[in-house]
């Protein structure tokens, strides 16, 4: 089986073959050849993986209700089209022989086709970093399960409305206590997040962010001041989206709002309450059996949460919990926002 992609073969695939040369070359950098052993599945009926899958070498079988309904061999006319391309998948695809395939992120391809056909796409905006350890920022964002819930038109609009901002080491991107104006995604470089307190006026380090990480959503969602300072550790480029575009294109489609009855159902089915207020607020009044992680620390502590669980997040009004939900959704943790906050909980479920 070949281990490297044949650029000429990629250029023959539909709809990749409709892209201009520069965009095809850029796309080739983002895909890898994958080997599937005989009897193993490329995907199964019902899967929701948003990918254009192509057979480059070998033979695959399309299976429905245990019956083989079609075979596709690399190099054939059928192999130039994505396999059984519908979501959810209506059939299963299984390797008959050792098979080489590629998977192309469907959202990314759709965005590139849109840019290519509107004339607004710039290859420079998607160039890979010279750092071999970096990952492609766009690929990383689009592979986040949360983005699968955002309408494709919103995703396209987001990338088309973003602008690039260049920073040098030591530059401050956002200042604690400033008014929020932009949502940021790191395209190249690394940043450090710090928060100053009366006990530590120089700032306590909260996190280090790298390519594909995002920040700045808390102040935009909660209509509050920036709760931390973000400083560049290296030279880099950040993609930024203004407040209005962020809230209309990204925030609103990502949030799951739940009234108390709906929230209780999630809890009864194994979900967990997550209180994102400050410890003093939590101590004074809280929902029974809830976890307390203040919003300011959630980015740092998100990895300690069980990603197999669903979380119902609450605060006083819904503002802080909305920001927390966006952050967890980005990390593929399912979350809901309790409408109206803690005051909407049943009195019997409150501890004071």
pLDDT tens-digit series, residues 240-270: 999 988 888 887 777 888 999 999 999 999 9
pLDDT, residue 2, reads 57
Q: What is the mean pLDDT of the chain?
A: 85
Q: Residue 123 domain-assigned?
A: no
What was the pLDDT predicted at 120?
43
| Kind and range of the H or E run holding 253 | helix 252-254
Residue 122 or 77, more confident: 77
Task: Return the exposure string of 256-286: e unless at least 16 CB atoms fall within 10 Å of the residue's CB, then b.
Answer: bebebeebbebbeeebbbbbbbeeebbeeeb
Distance CA 91, CA 65 (A): 8
Q: Is 72 helix (H, G, I), strand (E, B) or coil?
A: strand
| Last residue within a domain, chosen from 222, 250, 278 | 250
**Domains held by the chain: number:** 3
Q: What is the mean pLDDT of residues 13-28?
A: 83
Question: Based on the domain organization, do 298 and 231 belong to the same domain?
Answer: no
Whether 245 is in a domain gets the answer: yes
Residue 20 domain-assigned? yes
Please give the pLDDT value at position 41.
97
Asked if pLDDT for residue 231 goes beyond 50, the answer is: yes
The answer to whether 49 touches 145, Cβ cutoff 8 Å, is: no
**What is the CATH number for 340?**
3.40.250.10
**Residue 267's pLDDT is what?**
96
37 and 101 fall within a common domain: yes
130 belongs to a structural domain: no
Average pLDDT, integer, range 73-84: 93
pTM to 2 decimal places: 0.56
pLDDT at residue 53, as a whole number: 95
Most confident of 157-166, 176-185, 229-238, 320-329: 229-238
* pLDDT at 133 > cutoff 70: no
**How many whole angstroms separate alpha carbon 230 and alpha carbon 146?**
24
Let me know whether 246 and 308 are in one domain: no
What domain range is 345 assigned to? 255-351
Closest by Cα among 57, 50, 64 to 93 = 64
- Among the candidates 64, 90, 108, a domain finishes at 108
Q: Is the pLDDT of residue 77 over 60?
A: yes
**Higher pLDDT residue, 156 or 173?**
173
């Amino acid at each position: 089986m070949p281990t490297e992609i044949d650029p000429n073969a990629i250029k023959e695939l539909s709809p990749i073959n409709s892209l201009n040369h520069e965009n095809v070359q850029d796309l080739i950098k983002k895909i890898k050849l994958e080997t599937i052993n005989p009897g193993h599945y490329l995907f199964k009926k019902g899967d929701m993986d948003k990918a254009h899958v192509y057979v480059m070498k070998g033979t695959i079988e399309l299976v429905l209700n245990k019956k083989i309904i079609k075979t596709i061999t690399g190099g054939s006319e059928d192999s130039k089209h994505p396999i059984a391309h519908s979501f959810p998948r209506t059939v299963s695809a299984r390797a008959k022989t050792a098979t080489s395939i590629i998977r192309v992120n469907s959202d990314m391809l759709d965005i590139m086709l849109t840019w290519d056909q509107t004339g607004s796409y710039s290859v420079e905006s998607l160039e890979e970093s010279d750092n071999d350890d970096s990952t492609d920022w766009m690929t990383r964002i689009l592979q986040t399960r949360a983005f699968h819930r955002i309408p494709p038109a919103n995703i396209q609009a987001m990338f088309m409305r973003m602008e690039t901002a260049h920073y040098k080491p030591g530059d401050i991107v956002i200042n604690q206590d400033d008014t929020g104006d932009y949502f940021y995604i790191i395209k190249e470089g690394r940043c450090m997040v710090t928060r100053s307190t009366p006990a530590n006026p120089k700032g306590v380090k909260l996190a280090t962010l790298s390519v594909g990480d995002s920040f700045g959503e808390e102040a935009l969602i909660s209509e509050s001041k920036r709760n931390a300072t973000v400083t560049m550790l290296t030279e880099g480029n950040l993609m930024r989206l203004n407040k209005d575009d962020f809230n209309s294109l990204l925030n609103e489609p990502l949030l799951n709002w739940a009234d108390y009855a709906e929230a209780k159902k999630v809890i009864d089915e194994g979900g967990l309450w997550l209180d994102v207020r400050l410890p003093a607020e939590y101590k004074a009044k809280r929902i029974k059996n809830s976890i307390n992680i203040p919003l300011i620390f959630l980015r740092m502590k998100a990895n300690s949460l069980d990603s197999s669980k669903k979380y119902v997040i609450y605060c006083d009004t819904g503002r802080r919990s909305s920001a927390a939900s966006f952050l967890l959704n980005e990390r593929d943790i399912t979350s809901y926002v309790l409408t109206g906050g803690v005051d909407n909980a049943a009195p019997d479920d409150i501890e004071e």
